[in-house]
Amino acid sequence: MKPPRLAALIPLAVAGLHAPPAHAAFYTGDQLYDLCTAPRTSRDYVEKTYECIAYVTGAVDAFNAVREAAGRKSCLPPDVTIDRLRTVTAEYLRDHPETRAGSAATLVQTAIAATWPCAVPQPAKPPRKKRRK
């Protein structure tokens, strides 16, 4: 007895090997804005809000990890809340709709840096020479 169903699956398996390439970003700014601004009256408000918060905090953690690996500290104040990070991101996306087609992760970083810019390290001053009398 031949398994005809198995033969029918072979072309599907081969087609799966030629999947289209993934995009550089999982979310666009438009998609993140939709999540972060879900109306409280919508039936998926809680789901979208948690997804927004998870995305924003994950992006911030990733940027801070990169800074730490480079020997730099986070620029965020120590008392910043997750809700404040979400609000800052949503407000930035609202105020800059022309950027929302771009990577959501990049836009989170841009929003955070615009709100809490890092201090630019000043080069060390050379020691003053003592004057001889």
131 pLDDT band, cuts 50/70/90, is: low
**Residue linked to tokens 């989170």:** 108
7-64 confidence digits (pLDDT tens):
444 444 444 444 444 455 689 999 999 999 999 999 999 999 999 999 999 999 999 9
For residue 105, being part of any structural domain is answered with yes
Q: What is the pLDDT of residue 118?
A: 85
Contact by Cβ (8 Å): 76, 116: yes
For residue 58, being part of any structural domain is answered with yes
**How far is residue 39's CA from residue 16's CA, in Å, rounded to a whole number?**
38
49-62 confidence digits (pLDDT tens):
999 999 999 999 99
**How far is residue 124's CA from residue 122's CA, in Å, rounded to a whole number?**
6
For residue 24, being part of any structural domain is answered with no
> Cβ atoms within 10 A of the Cβ of 28, count?
17
Contact by Cβ (8 Å): 104, 55: yes
For residue 126, being part of any structural domain is answered with no
For residue 96, being part of any structural domain is answered with yes
3-state helix, strand, coil in the chain (%, to 5): 55, 0, 40
**How far is residue 101's CA from residue 98's CA, in Å, rounded to a whole number?**
7
Please give the tally of structural domains in the chain. Answer: 1
Give the structural domain span for 78: 30-115
